[in-house]
Amino acid sequence: MADYVTLAKTISSLTEGETDTVALMATVACELHHSDDRFDWTGFYRVTAPELLKIGPYQGGHGCLVIPFSRGVCGAAARTGQVQLVPDVDAFPGHIACASSTRSEIVLPVRDARGDIIAVLDIDSDQPDAFTEADATALEAILTDTFAR
Ligand code: SME
């Protein structure tokens, strides 16, 4: 599992004083992706219009460009405002497979300082059942510290 304590300190240091969300997303995606072998695709989908997500900074193979809130794991996270912890993507109705190798996934809503959902963070793994509640808690803390400060 990633060393989330160190990761949080690193991201906080790298982004200190920065307010540009694209710069923040690029840094978070990079640091998260290279921190843990479970993470095969790490990136953001931004809320660019009502009920619409578009790809943002990411690491890994190409991701689909546009996701409506009505579709996929990302859409579910944006629609419900809840973390989506998916142990088996094949069992998730409407999962969008950007890579056939993906087996499990975690998607978290990203909120700004006003509490509005501005994006989702999507992490895919080639390992089945790769993510835990501990990942969700640690990732939520990093997202809050970075985007809701
Ligand atoms: N699996 C996501 C789509 C994004 S690609 O995995 C990068 C979903 O079902 O929303």
Q: Name the 3-class secondary structure at 35.
A: coil
User: 74 in ligand 1 pocket by Cβ < 6 Å?
Assistant: yes
| Rounded (10°) angle between helices 21-33 and 133-147 | 150
Residue 33 is encoded by which pair of tokens?
């992706």
The pLDDT > 70 percentage for the chain reads 100
| Closest residue by Cα to residue 30 from 9, 44, 47, 19 | 44
User: 29 in ligand 1 pocket by Cβ < 6 Å?
Assistant: no
**Model pLDDT, residue 1:** 83
Kindly tell me if the per-residue pLDDT of 11 is higher than 90: yes
pTM of the model: 0.98
Atom of ligand 1 nearest to the CA of 76: 10
Q: Distance (Å, rounded) from C-alpha 2 to C-alpha 14?
A: 18
Pocket test for ligand 1, best of 96, 101, 108, 125 (most atoms within 8 A of CB): 96
Kindly tell me if the per-residue pLDDT of 5 is higher than 90: yes
Whose Cα sits closest to atom 6 in ligand 1? 98
Residue 61 region by backbone torsions, left for phi larger than 0, else alpha for psi between -120 and 50, else beta: beta
Handedness of CA 60, 61, 67, 71 (dihedral sign): negative
Please write the tens of the pLDDT for every residue from 108-137. Answer: 999 999 999 999 999 999 999 999 999 999
